[in-house]
Structure 1
Amino acid sequence: MKIERHPLEPFLPANARLLMLGSFPPQKKRWSMEFYYPNWNNDMWRIVGLLFFNDKNHFLNEAAKAFDKDRIIPFLQKKGIALFDTATAIRRLQDNASDKFLEVVEPTDIEGMLRRLPECKTIVTTGEKATETLCEQFSLEKPKVGDFTEFVFDGRPMRLYRMPSSSRAYPLALEKKAATYRIMYQDLQML
């Protein structure tokens, strides 16, 4: 089976206090933009728009049926939110975007990434596969969805939040997913 390498560079603003990690991007045919959470059927940017702007469509370009990368990037830079994924190389065991059918061939060097983000004290994983992959690297027990666990990395106190997947395949209404993310963003005093 073909090995896919990650198609995007890590998005690591120098001021990042939060590192958000998914599992791996969907196939390019599902992308609506060249950036993270590109699938039109993924609700991440709707969740963020709802929480920070009280408008789930804030980051959408509905005419193009795409997300607006030119609005997303400055927002992330201002808020200090870094993005990447827990896998750098994968195999798709089925021809779809489901994490259930991803085999992680090469996990991301999260420790190396954290060393490049000295202000980062929080990691959030956005789904089951991302949480599993990260917890294996740091020998952590998985927190429940919506909860966090604390650990120490290089003498730095850290929190790992496990959030619900923003994929529509995860059977939870947008507003309920946003309510879970709201608690995390409030804990971090970002809202």
Structure 2
Amino acid sequence: MNEEEAPRVHSFPPLVDEQSRILILGSMPGVASLEAHEYYGNPRNYMWRLLYSLLADGVPDERYEDRLAFALRHGIAMWDVFASCVRKGSLDSDIRDAVPNDIPGLLRRYPNIRVVACNGGKSHGELVKQFGDTPELAVRTVIRLPSSSPVPTRNFRGLDDRLAAWRQQLGPFLQTDMLPIR
């Protein structure tokens, strides 16, 4: 499939509620996630194992609906920086003709979100490029986390090194005084 034949893909609606305190912002769901209609639906992706390791016993619930409820129960929202893009495959480097989601609008609607945690460099770079000068981001903490993708990088080979980085960078914001009481 050449670039002209690559499909336009669309992100999911945000997973968020009034108790959300941390927005984990990806770039665009990969092929496996789009096919499963699930955030981080590729079983090789580390996202759910990272969250459950940070907040529970490390073993994600089997049912997707239970994983979503777990995230919300812990004040975690999820969305993607792009509403749609043209992309063949799942690599961020293949994203073309991207249309951003209305991140500032979401943050206005959910003012309890205090932290925007970008899942990887593409998410962080595009967030800053598109919305870095908005007041909605200026009043929040924005952090760049290593991608939860299973693709090894020079600095992050697998789950354990990603978990250590997530624990160091995101851990302070997961303290019980930051989380909603349910």
In structure 2, give the amino acid aligned to 1:59: P
In structure 1, give the amino acid aligned to 2:46: D
Task: Give structure 1 stretches of 5+ with no counterpart.
Answer: 62-67, 141-151
Residue of structure 2 equivalent to 1:186: 171
Deviation of 1:181 after TM superposition, in Å, equals 1.0
Deviations 1:172-191 (A, max 9, x none): 22111011111233311436
Distance 1:154 1:60 in 2: 33
Is the counterpart of residue 43 in structure 1 residue 38 in structure 2?
no
Number of aligned positions between the proteins: 169
Is the counterpart of residue 91 in structure 1 residue 73 in structure 2?
no
Query: Could you say what secondary structure the match of 2:52 adopts?
Result: helix
Task: Give structure 2 stretches of 5+ with no counterpart.
Answer: 177-182
Identical residues among aligned pairs (%):
26
In structure 1, give the amino acid aligned to 2:72: Q
Contact 1:49 1:59 in 2 (8 A): yes
The residue correspondences of 1:34-183 to structure 2 (distance < 5 A) are 34-55=37-58, 58-59=59-60, 61=62, 68-92=63-87, 95-139=88-132, 153-154=135-136, 157-171=139-153, 172=156, 173-183=158-168
Deviation of 1:170 after TM superposition, in Å, equals 3.5
Contact 2:131 2:137 in 1 (8 A): no
In structure 2, give the amino acid aligned to 1:19: L
CA RMSD of aligned residues (A): 2.3
TM-score for both structures, normalised by structure 1? 0.78
Distance 2:131 2:70 in 1: 29
Contact 1:87 1:104 in 2 (8 A): no
Inter-CA distance 155–41: structure 2 relative to 1 (3 Å threshold) = closer
Q: Runs of at least 4 residues of structure 1 off by over 6 A?
A: none
Between Structure 1 and Structure 2, which shows a larger proportion of strand residues? 1
Deviates more, 1:159-168 or 1:4-13: 4-13
Bigger RCO of structures 1 and 2 (CA < 8 A, at least 6 apart)? 2
Between Structure 1 and Structure 2, which shows a larger proportion of helix residues? 2
Contact 2:107 2:136 in 1 (8 A): no
Deviation of 1:40 after TM superposition, in Å, equals 1.4
Deviations 1:62-110 (A, max 9, x none): xxxxxx3122122112111111100001011xx3211111124201111
Distance 2:60 2:28 in 1: 21
Inter-CA distance 89–7: structure 2 relative to 1 (3 Å threshold) = closer
Selected match of 1:10 from 10, 14, 22? 14
Residue of structure 2 equivalent to 1:146: none
Deviation of 1:3 after TM superposition, in Å, equals 5.1
Distance 1:54 1:185 in 2: 17
